[in-house]
Amino acid sequence: MAALAPDTGRAFVVGVTGPPGAGKSTTVTALVRALRARGERVGVLAVDPTSPFTGGALLGDRVRMQEHALDDEVLIRSMATRGHLGGLAVAAPQALRVFDAAGCATVVVETVGVGQSEVDVAAAADAAVVLLAPGMGDGVQAAKAGILEIGDLFVVNKADRDGAQPLVRELRSMVGLADRPPGAWKPPVLTTVASEGTGVPELLDALDRFRVAQAASGDQARRRLQRSRREVEGLALATLAGRLRREGSAALDDLAAAVRDGGTDPYAAAAALLARTDLR
Amino acid sequence: MAALAPDTGRAFVVGVTGPPGAGKSTTVTALVRALRARGERVGVLAVDPTSPFTGGALLGDRVRMQEHALDDEVLIRSMATRGHLGGLAVAAPQALRVFDAAGCATVVVETVGVGQSEVDVAAAADAAVVLLAPGMGDGVQAAKAGILEIGDLFVVNKADRDGAQPLVRELRSMVGLADRPPGAWKPPVLTTVASEGTGVPELLDALDRFRVAQAASGDQARRRLQRSRREVEGLALATLAGRLRREGSAALDDLAAAVRDGGTDPYAAAAALLARTDLR
């Protein structure tokens, strides 16, 4: 990472998130195709929900992005949502940094956007694309998914299906209701049929416009500073967590049993755990 | 919490998780109705995805469980997935402990089961119920949701709809494929139409059988020990995180800017951050 540092900061990171079934993989594949047509090197980071038992990502590199699997200028990496030191908030930026230093002009991060950490990763991108599709439940369900407020661009995929236009209208109405300062970016609501490539050039154009606007306003630099803050803080915390685990492991068994059996409360147990280490 | 500790350890905690649209709220409402018919006091903890901007839960106590809202013997609490000291893994057990000490024989935890932390909370219950419904995408989508491996009981809700029986067969086949020791609990696959109460008594019976089996085998005690371990460790880490934030805040701004601009790498920055505090 020290060696890579001077070569970072050039890639534009696009987060694509949305509920399962919205067509994220298809849209990312189409987006990568459009970026490759410009001759750019592209990185793809796919964040999968983790199997709680195996600790591995449920879908691997191999089953996704088959169209681009043999293209040397498309770098693809899958990452599970757990099992990383410091969690996804730390692991994802490290992977992005490698893509960045490897010369990817654009890196697309694909996450399943219902869990909070996945939403955080998408929101930490330079541009957050929220992908929805008609027929996935009503507006309350969309709000439940917690992804409406983070979008810099909204895309209604599968726009040839029934219900696409009402969903577009609903999203435009919600975007229109939000308070924003004069001159601030107003998230557009685009439509695509990603499986046919329809609407993808327009999505790319909108991303370009957003990039230029963000760089000019200083918002990109501010957002990247926040991302770096979280990353550094996350790594420092991961270091502390490792020490706590090593130094406190023996004490933790007794303390946890006492909590389970009602002999003490968890706050007192946590204080006792810290008292057994040099971290207190 | 110290005062509550002696009165805890009696409640049976049932986690209900599944993708958005599976009918979790309806099923939990029906389950509570059945538990109330036994005369038991019941607790309900509903975990909502958080709005990244407001920090609040997107659905509150008020819009859910209207049927039970006026029943003094049903205690309901909504909780957002972020904004809690130490995260959901710490906050949820504290809420459960209050329900437990308040004399709830059963506490139902409802989470949207796509994000990892939500899955973790459901998996940490005494019994994890995974709720699915037909028409929500194929098996790969279900696997993507990362919830199939955690289920102690599977429920196909909306079982009167097309596609319910194929989903039941697919789940039974997946459950049958799993390796488990002789005599171990084999997760049943049940069907419900929660909106009409159909299948809910059978779900309650299965939960009772599971509870007895888990208590007899010692698995319940082992699982609760793990839950307490995570909780104590999480609280200790939250304490350290608070100290890092207070003591390292000024240094973090400079270090994050250096990382963003390629002047240093995040690992070196994290080490420098710890060096500025007493936590190193």
The Cα B44–Cα B53 span in angstroms is: 26
A151 closest CA partner among B157, B52, B105, B197 = B52
pLDDT score of A196: 94
pLDDT at A69: 75
Instruction: Verify that B205 and B235 share a domain, yes or no.
Output: no
Specify whether B166 is located in the same domain as B70: yes
Q: CA B23, CA B133: separation in Å to the nearest integer?
A: 8
Mean pLDDT is lowest, of A50-64, A173-187, B153-167, B211-225, for: A50-64
Among B171, B187, B217, which residue terminates a domain?
B217
CATH number at residue A17: 3.40.50.300
* The pLDDT value given to residue A174: 83
CB contact under 8 A, A119 and B240: no
pLDDT digits (tens, 9 = 90+) for A137-185: 554 455 545 567 788 999 999 999 999 999 899 889 888 887 888 888 9
User: What pLDDT, on the 0 to 100 scale, is given for residue A42?
Assistant: 96
Residues B248 and B153 in one domain: no
Shared-domain flag, residues A174 and A270? no
- B266 — contact with chain A (CB < 8 Å)? yes
Q: Which of B171, B174, B141 is nearest to B159 (CA)?
A: B171
Give residue B29's pLDDT.
92
User: How many CA within 13 A on the CB side of residue A101?
Assistant: 17
Find the mean pLDDT for residues B189-194: 97
Q: Give B55→chain A minimum CA distance, Å.
A: 11
Domain contains A226: no
pLDDT tens profile A11-37: 999 999 887 778 888 999 999 999 999
Give me the pLDDT at residue B55, please: 40
Q: Is residue B60 predicted with pLDDT exceeding 50?
A: no
**Shared-domain flag, residues A72 and A128:** yes
pLDDT score, position A147: 65
- Residue A235 forms contact with B (CB below 8 Å): yes
DSSP β-bridge partners for residue B79 = B47
Between B84 and A198, residue with greater pLDDT = A198
Q: How far is CA B197 from the centre of its chain?
A: 23
What would the mean pLDDT of B29-33 be, rounded to a whole number? 94
The token duo for B123 is 């998996």
The DSSP code sequence of A204-226 is HHHHHHHHHHHHHHTHHHHHHHH
Residue A120: its pLDDT value, please? 72
**Enclosing domain of residue B66:** 5-217
pLDDT of residue B62: 42
A158: left (phi over 0), alpha (psi -120 to 50) or beta: left
Residues B127 and B73 in one domain: yes
Q: Is residue B48 part of a domain?
A: yes
The token pair that represents A228 in the structure block? 């770096």
Could B232 and A259 be called an inter-chain contact, meaning their C-beta atoms sit closer than 8 Å? yes
- The torsion angles phi and psi of A278, rounded to 5 degrees, stand at -85, 5
The encoded tokens of residue B102 equal 């308040």
Mean pLDDT of all residues in B214-233: 92
pLDDT at position B53 is 38
Concatenated DSSP letters of A97-114: HHHHHTT-SEEEEEEETT
Together in a domain, B260 and B164: no
Average pLDDT, chain B: 84
pLDDT recorded at residue A96: 92
Q: How many domains does chain A divide into?
A: 2
- pLDDT score of A121: 73
B250 & B122 share domain? no
> Is pLDDT at B42 greater than 60 in this prediction?
yes
Tokens of B206: 């299965």
Report d(CA B114, CA B19) in Å as an integer: 6
Q: Are residues A193 and A84 in the same domain?
A: yes
In A48-67, the residues whose Cβ lies within 8 Å of chain B are 48-54, 58-59
Q: Least CB-CB distance to B49: which of A53, A97, A144?
A: A144
Cβ contacts of A133 on chain B, cutoff 8 Å: none
Q: Please state, as a whole number, how many other Cβ atoms lie within 10 Å of the Cβ of residue B100.
A: 22
> Is residue A225 in a domain?
no
Residues of chain A predicted below pLDDT 50:
51-62, 139-140, 144
Region B177-185: mean pLDDT is 85
Neighbouring-strand partners of residue B189 = B154
pLDDT in the model for residue A140: 43
Is pLDDT of B228 > 80?
Answer: yes
Mean pLDDT of B170-183: 85
Contact predicate B106/A12, CB 8 Å: no
